Amino acid sequence: MAGETLVDSAHLLVVDDDARLRALLQRFLAEQGFRVTTAADAAAARAALAAVAFDLVVLDVMMPGESGLQLVESLRREGNDVPVLMLTARGGPDDRVAGFELGADDYLPKPFDPRELALRIRTILRRVAPAPQALPTAPVQLGMRWFDAERSELRGPEGTVRLTGGEAALLIALARRAGEVLSREEIAAALGTPEAGERAVDVQVTRLRRKIEPDPREPRFLHTVRHRGYVLRPGP
């Protein structure tokens, strides 16, 4: 998905228990050039995800049985890092933060304009496959681990450490300006979620620290600068 054509032709999984909305989204997103598969609930989504490597999942939060939040939490726990855009009728800040905490990449409250959905999908797809010229030229050392921004890949003695799209985008943004303090507003803009607010940025930072820090409670690499933001200081 390095170029515009691949972004626009990505294969999406749309999961929603509302049959009418599923059909509308399938038709609209197909008209936008995407390949679209649909699922009515979490069980059907799991079956689809087991069979196909989707580029992105559009996931409703409120579904009978296993909710969208439960599904995304389970996927992340299992190591599945497919980008997830969550849809919900509950769009308050606490609800958005809950989604980000569990590993969602973006959050769109209902009702929404389908054009905004398509825009957000493309934003996420571009974010998880940044343009080569925007990437650091060499892997970044974080203790015993190395981050290869070109591949969005974090490697260490234990092998490859899985990053979600949001975690990889955050690490790329910080690595591009290693040693510089980035405000939360700058980070949110780099993640493509400027409306998510400071708490959502803090949540992504907390999640990333679990992947790169020997002790997330005493960060060695990703530091908080009080009243200013965050800074990445790579090193052995």
Answer whether residue 131 shows pLDDT above 60: no
Strand 106-109: give its sheet, edge to edge: 35-39, 11-15, 56-60, 84-88, 106-109
Please tell me whether residues 117 and 166 are part of one structural domain. Answer: no
Please tell me whether residues 108 and 141 are part of one structural domain. Answer: no
Please tell me whether residues 52 and 117 are part of one structural domain. Answer: yes
Please tell me whether residues 19 and 64 are part of one structural domain. Answer: yes
Q: How many domains does the chain have?
A: 2
Please tell me whether residues 75 and 175 are part of one structural domain. Answer: no
CATH number, domain containing residue 33 = 3.40.50.2300
Please tell me whether residues 120 and 10 are part of one structural domain. Answer: yes
pTM equals 0.63
Sign of CA dihedral 35, 39, 40, 42: negative
Mean pLDDT (whole number) for 199-222: 91
Last-in-domain residue among 113, 128, 143: 128
Please tell me whether residues 162 and 220 are part of one structural domain. Answer: yes
Please tell me whether residues 176 and 104 are part of one structural domain. Answer: no
pLDDT of residue 135: 52
Domain range spanning residue 108? 4-128
Last-in-domain residue among 101, 128, 155: 128
pLDDT of residue 1: 39
Please tell me whether residues 118 and 8 are part of one structural domain. Answer: yes
Please tell me whether residues 73 and 16 are part of one structural domain. Answer: yes
Question: What does the pLDDT look like over 161-184, one tens digit per residue?
Answer: 888 878 888 898 898 888 999 998
Report d(CA 226, CA 129) in Å as an integer.
31
Q: How would you classify the pairing of strands 145-148 and 153-156?
A: antiparallel
Please tell me whether residues 9 and 122 are part of one structural domain. Answer: yes
pLDDT of residue 197: 66
pLDDT of residue 195: 60
Please tell me whether residues 96 and 172 are part of one structural domain. Answer: no
CATH number, domain containing residue 189 = 1.10.10.10
